[in-house]
Structure 1
Amino acid sequence: MIAVLLAAAALADCGTKGAAILIDRCRLAESIASEPDANCAKQNTQFDLNVCSFREYLRADIELNQAWDGIKRRLSSSRKGYTTMLAGQKAWLTYRDKQCQFWEGWYEGGSIAALVSNSCLTDITKVRSKELGQQLKDLDH
């Protein structure tokens, strides 16, 4: 797992089983509750940048999972279509995680590593969300 989890946020309470959207929402709520002093409006410190970038990634992942849920619903009557799409999504997740691990590795041990990883995850996830949204529109036509 990419080291985007901040030591200050006790994320174990959210668990790893269940709907991805619910887990992300729980992780976001825990981050806000455990670090309420993070200034995401100004982001003056590396701590603020790291915490706020993690929250931004979680929001992007929630959006991605909402788009994925739409795809799953739309493809519920097409086993072959869903199976193919699921394989593509799993491959994309592997790509995203490996790509961001690469960039994080350049800053390993540095205070900016979490920001680099979180920003990478956010950027790539937002692009995929747009792709899935467009695919959903195309399936509806």
Structure 2
Amino acid sequence: MIRFTGPLCCIALMLAAMPARAQEEANCIDPQTQMELTYCAGLDFEAADKDLNALWPKVVAAAKSSDEYVADQARSMGVPTTLEALRAAQRAWIAFRDAQCEYEAYEMFGGTGQPMLGSMCLARLTRERIDLLKQALESR
């Protein structure tokens, strides 16, 4: 589950505040206004986040499966289990993603394009994470 904080919260609020009619009329195939660009970037991130959330149970299941073989040994060595390591990595990745996207959005600091850049970054890094997690699943 993604939690918006700081400037990322502003992106979510901006999308929610966009008038319903403007949302209905937004052209995400060929956006022409900054409002459309920002709205469509937000939708793109929402789609990527949905894909990540759909993949997550498979990744957790794979980690649990690995733990059938290594959890006892990991605990005896004082290191995290596969599932614990996965969850710690995901929490760290979310913190990185949010901080990185806040930084990247500063390219248009204070401008109307700042939320759009943040959403574009969120979508890009989320898709990269999906690819990485899929590769991990395939290698198990």
Whichever of the two has the greater Rg, that structure is 2
User: TM-score, with normalisation over the residues of structure 2?
Assistant: 0.76
Identity, % of aligned pairs? 28
Query: What SS class does the counterpart of residue 84 from structure 2 fall into?
Result: helix
- CA deviation string 1:1-46 (max 9, x = no partner): 1132143515xxxxxxxxxxxxxxxxxxxx9887111111110111
For 1:75, the equivalent position in structure 2 comes to 63
- Supply the distance in 2 between the matched residues of 1:71 and 1:6 (Cα, whole angstroms): 30
- Supply the distance in 2 between the matched residues of 1:32 and 1:75 (Cα, whole angstroms): 42
**In 1, are the aligned partners of 2:49 and 2:126 still within 8 Å (CA)?**
yes
Indicate which of 3, 7, 10 corresponds to 2:14: 7
Runs (4+) of structure 1 moved beyond 6 Å?
31-34
Q: Which runs of 5+ in 1 are unaligned?
A: 11-30
Seen in structure 2, the aligned counterparts of structure 1 residues 97 and 117 have a Cα distance that, compared at 3 Å, is: same
User: TM-score, with normalisation over the residues of structure 1?
Assistant: 0.76
Name the amino acid aligned to 1:108: F
The Cα RMSD (Å) is 2.2
**In 2, are the aligned partners of 1:40 and 1:52 still within 8 Å (CA)?**
yes
Query: What SS class does the counterpart of residue 36 from structure 1 fall into?
Result: helix
Aligned length: 120
Q: Which runs of 5+ in 2 are unaligned?
A: 72-80
- Supply the distance in 2 between the matched residues of 1:123 and 1:7 (Cα, whole angstroms): 20
